[in-house]
A and B are shown apart, each in its own frame.
Chain A
Amino acid sequence: AQSVTQLDSQVPVFEEAPVELRCNYSSSVSVYLFWYVQYPNQGLQLLLKYLSGSTLVKGINGFEAEFNKSQTSFHLRKPSVHISDTAEYFCAVRDTGRRALTFGSGTRLQVQP
């Protein structure tokens, strides 16, 4: 069985500061990795995904993530956040044998002026 751990439930940060949201996963098989964002009262929107190839993945809104197989991590980063980045961020994995996504518990990013 696979699982996803998002170590930080809340991350407060000042506007224009860098941020890293941590995600670790466990799985006995190869996985695909995703980051989704959920703005208040909206559905989930894909930020980026890792399928194969380069371990550094760039997504929308200036976000990027790096896949580290040895550490089973897929941390999300942004060099300079904006107020509009305030949202909940979910890391998810899907193994190559299933279609269902397994989500982490989410990290609430609070960008302060």
Chain B
Amino acid sequence: GAGVSQSPSNKVTEKGKDVELRCDPISGHTALYWYRQSLGQGLEFLIYFQGNSAPDKSGLPSDRFSAERTGGSVSTLTIQRTQQEDSAVYLCASSKGGGPGETQYFGPGTRLLVL
């Protein structure tokens, strides 16, 4: 079946602009995660959704970052007033949501470059 998909695959924006990154999880997966992969910070957790709720948003680096999930499916990560330090690969993952040791399946990522 189809895996996790993300769009766009690449995004170049100017400092100060807002960007929206989209994630389509595997069908039927109730849990969805956003991570960020950057040269300086490695792979960092941003936010976790269970259904449409976000019980853990502890990794969002500032109030410029927000995310939502609708219909228990698609999620959008929004970065307002982008800064150069926001340049990174943003990874989305999903899991069935049922058990503590479940596998998180990752998408290919969105590569964001802020000029």
Binding site for B on A (CB under 8 A): 32, 36, 41-46, 49, 51, 90, 92, 94, 96, 98-106
Contact = CB atoms under 8 A, between A and B. Distances in A.
B18 interface: no
Interface string B83-115: 000000001010000001101111111000000
B43 A90 contact: yes
A59 to B, nearest CB: 11
A101 B44 CA distance: 8
Interface residues of B, number: 25
Interface of B: 3-4, 31, 33, 35, 42-45, 48, 50, 56, 58-59, 91, 93, 100-101, 103-109
A46 B106 CA distance: 9
B103 A46 contact: yes
18 contacts: A32-B100, A41-B108, A42-B108, A43-B109, A46-B103, A49-B101, A49-B103, A51-B100, A51-B101, A94-B100, A96-B100, A98-B56, A100-B45, A100-B58, A103-B35, A103-B42, A103-B43, A104-B42
A36 B101 CA distance: 14
For the residues of B in contact with A, the DSSP-based class is: strand
Given A44-B91, A51-B100, 20 more contacts: A32-B100, A42-B108, A43-B91, A44-B93, A44-B106, A46-B103, A46-B104, A46-B105, A51-B101, A96-B100, A98-B56, A99-B48, A99-B50, A99-B56, A100-B33, A101-B104, A102-B45, A103-B35, A103-B42, A103-B43
